[in-house]
């Protein structure tokens, strides 16, 4: 008999899911009187149903003493699926995964090659680990104003210039779905004797259909981080960190992972990662095929709109839908507002770009319905075509003068924007999304960076992590 709470019967291959189903069923029947946390004790008459389904991993899905064997069972299944030999499930997103990987390589003070279009979580990982980034930058495509993957030659040159570097960190695919040649990147990194670590936050589905690029581990990377809540149907915050440990130390990876993970992971997020992995194993290829087909149709429909374009071609992963608006004159924020009003919020919109995130959960009809509403919104806001402006996150040319960690801990002061130019930033400032820092601790505050941030703010974009999001003042090293 099918359990309506597990309609596809995933529990037979998903031990954490099975444990969560059992634990929450017992709680729903009122058959437990827990004398351990969480403090809601499975009652919904206090703060209400907001805590429904919350069962702690330790002490809920299994006893506090024994849940590690359940954890290892599920994580080993994921490791096998990705061809890795080490895996951990995180309830703190790829943010935590990136920081764990940063803590797992090198020693404070060592150089590490990193693409500058990194997510801010990795930059803070470098602060935690005391690594010194040697920035590599992608080519910016003039037609779209968006970054490609990082060229292999760029990383090879950086490694040649910094023979002491202890690793290469790449974000791949990029936020806009462009991919680099990870197999050649891995060969170059390994040729230099260092591991390749990949932030594949958006790419948990890659490698599960012949029409998709291989995932990072299959391409030869030593470790990858991916958000199960992004491309896969897991709960918000669910992420996986995977490694093929020939060049990495397993015990160090575990220590690095545990350093900043909660000791009280919630069972629902953990179980949802396990369930998403089981779904990918059982039916991933069919679901990916449906997604690829739906996105191809949506791309075609949108590209037929006069002035509109989509990112497409061999350097773009096929499930990504990146809509380019400059030729339509429509402003991305106006289009986004219409989409929100229609109940179709998108992941990112700036003046020239709208980025919805189709996933394995979307079928062809849903993607076609989205495309219809999007096209109507573009038509409603159509204006004079304009030239593409490269967004601040992609355009920034950092001028590092101090290691991020040194700057993070240095004494600082708050100064008016005009006095900040030429000083060293103490803070990380990123338009969000995409969360790529325009200013990082240890970098010179330049007139260009300030202008780029002001443009984002003036255009209605969100300036995240700045002590003063109005950008009237900046925190600089004293």
Ligand X SMILES: Cc1ncc(COP(=O)(O)O)c(C=O)c1O
The whole-angstrom separation of Cα 21 and Cα 174 is 36
Q: How far is the CB of 305 from ligand X (least distance, A)?
A: 27
Q: How far is the CB of 237 from ligand X (least distance, A)?
A: 7
Site string for ligand X, 237-256 (x = CB under 6 A): --x-----------------
**Radius of gyration of the CA atoms of the chain, in A:** 23
Which two three-digit tokens encode residue 469?
């999001």
Measured from each CB, the residue nearest to ligand X is 93
Name the residue nearer to ligand X (CB basis): 355 or 444. 355
Name the residue nearer to ligand X (CB basis): 147 or 284. 147
Q: How far is the CB of 28 from ligand X (least distance, A)?
A: 29
Name the residue nearer to ligand X (CB basis): 11 or 88. 88
**Looking at 18-26, 40-48, 70-78, 87-95, which segment touches ligand X (CB under 6 A)?**
87-95
Of 94, 99, 425, 475, the one binding ligand X by CB under 6 A? 94
Provide the sign of the torsion angle of the four alpha carbons 49, 55, 59, 62, taken in this order: positive
Site string for ligand X, 422-441 (x = CB under 6 A): -------------x------
Of 42, 99, 115, 121, the one binding ligand X by CB under 6 A? 121
Of 24, 42, 55, 95, the one binding ligand X by CB under 6 A? 95
Q: How far is the CB of 117 from ligand X (least distance, A)?
A: 8
Say whether residue 227 binds ligand X (CB under 6 A): yes
Of 62, 75, 141, 199, the one binding ligand X by CB under 6 A? 199
Q: How far is the CB of 118 from ligand X (least distance, A)?
A: 7
Q: Are 434 and 415 in contact (CB under 8 A)?
A: no
Residues 358-387 that bind ligand X (CB under 6 A): none
Say whether residue 155 binds ligand X (CB under 6 A): no
The whole-angstrom separation of Cα 354 and Cα 335 is 8
Of 11, 77, 119, 132, the one binding ligand X by CB under 6 A? 119
DSSP string, 380-407: HT----------HHHH----B-S-HHHH
CA distances from 275 to 13, 15, 19, 403 (A): 8, 9, 11, 41
Residues whose CB is less than 8 angstroms from the CB of residue 27 and which lie 6 or more positions away in sequence, other chains included: 42, 55
Which two three-digit tokens encode residue 136?
């590599």
Name the residue nearer to ligand X (CB basis): 169 or 474. 169
Residues whose CB is less than 8 angstroms from the CB of residue 84 and which lie 6 or more positions away in sequence, other chains included: 78, 217, 242, 243, 244
The whole-angstrom separation of Cα 152 and Cα 163 is 16
The whole-angstrom separation of Cα 87 and Cα 96 is 14
Residues whose CB is less than 8 angstroms from the CB of residue 281 and which lie 6 or more positions away in sequence, other chains included: 13, 77, 81
User: Binding residues for ligand X, per CB under 6 A?
Assistant: 93-95, 98, 119, 121, 171, 175, 199, 201, 227, 239, 435
């Amino acid at each position: 008999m099918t359990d309506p709470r597990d309609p596809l019967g995933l529990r037979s291959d998903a031990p954490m899911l099975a444990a969560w189903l059992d634990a929450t069923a017992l709680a729903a029947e009122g058959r437990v009187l827990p004398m351990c946390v969480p403090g809601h004790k499975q009652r919904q008459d206090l703060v209400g149903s907001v805590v429904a389904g919350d069962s702690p991993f330790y002490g809920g899905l299994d006893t506090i003493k024994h849940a590690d064997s359940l954890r290892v069972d599920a994580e080993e299944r994921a490791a096998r699926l990705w061809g890795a030999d080490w895996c951990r499930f995180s309830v703190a997103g790829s943010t935590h995964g990136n920081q764990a990987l940063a803590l797992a390589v090198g020693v404070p003070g060592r150089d590490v090659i990193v693409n500058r279009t990194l997510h801010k979580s990795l930059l803070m990982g470098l602060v935690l680990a005391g690594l010194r980034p040697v920035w590599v930058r992608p080519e910016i495509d003039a037609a779209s104003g968006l970054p490609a993957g990082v060229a292999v030659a760029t990383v090879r040159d950086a490694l040649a210039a910094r023979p002491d570097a202890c690793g290469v960190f790449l974000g791949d695919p990029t936020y806009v779905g462009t991919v680099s040649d990870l197999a050649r990147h891995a060969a170059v990194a390994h040729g230099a004797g260092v591991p390749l670590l990949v932030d594949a936050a958006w790419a948990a589905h890659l490698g599960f259909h012949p029409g998709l690029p291989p995932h990072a581990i299959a391409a030869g990377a030593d470790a990858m981080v991916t958000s199960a809540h992004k491309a896969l149907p897991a709960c918000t915050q669910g992420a996986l960190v995977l490694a093929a440990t020939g060049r990495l130390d397993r015990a160090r990876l575990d220590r690095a992972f545990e350093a900043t993970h909660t000791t009280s992971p919630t069972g629902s997020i953990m179980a949802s990662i396990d369930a998403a992995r089981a779904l990918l194993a059982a039916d991933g290829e069919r679901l990916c095929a449906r997604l690829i087909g739906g996105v191809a149709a949506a791309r075609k429909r949108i590209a037929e709109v006069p002035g509109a374009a989509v990112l497409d071609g061999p350097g773009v992963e096929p499930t990504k839908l990146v809509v380019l608006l400059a030729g339509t004159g429509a402003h991305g924020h106006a289009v986004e507002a219409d989409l929100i009003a229609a109940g179709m919020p998108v992941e990112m919109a700036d003046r020239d770009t709208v980025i919805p995130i189709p996933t394995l959960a979307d079928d062809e009809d849903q993607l076609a319905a989205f495309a219809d509403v999007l096209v109507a919104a573009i038509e409603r806001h159509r204006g004079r075509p304009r030239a593409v402006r490269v967004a601040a996150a992609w355009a920034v040319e950092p001028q590092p003068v101090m290691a991020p960690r040194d700057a993070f801990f240095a004494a600082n002061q708050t100064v008016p924007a005009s006095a900040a130019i030429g000083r060293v930033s103490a803070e990380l400032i990123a338009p969000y999304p995409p969360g790529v820092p325009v200013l990082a601790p240890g970098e010179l505050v330049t007139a260009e960076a300030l202008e780029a941030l002001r443009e984002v703010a003036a255009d209605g974009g969100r300036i995240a992590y700045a002590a003063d999001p109005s950008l009237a003042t900046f925190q600089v090293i004293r």
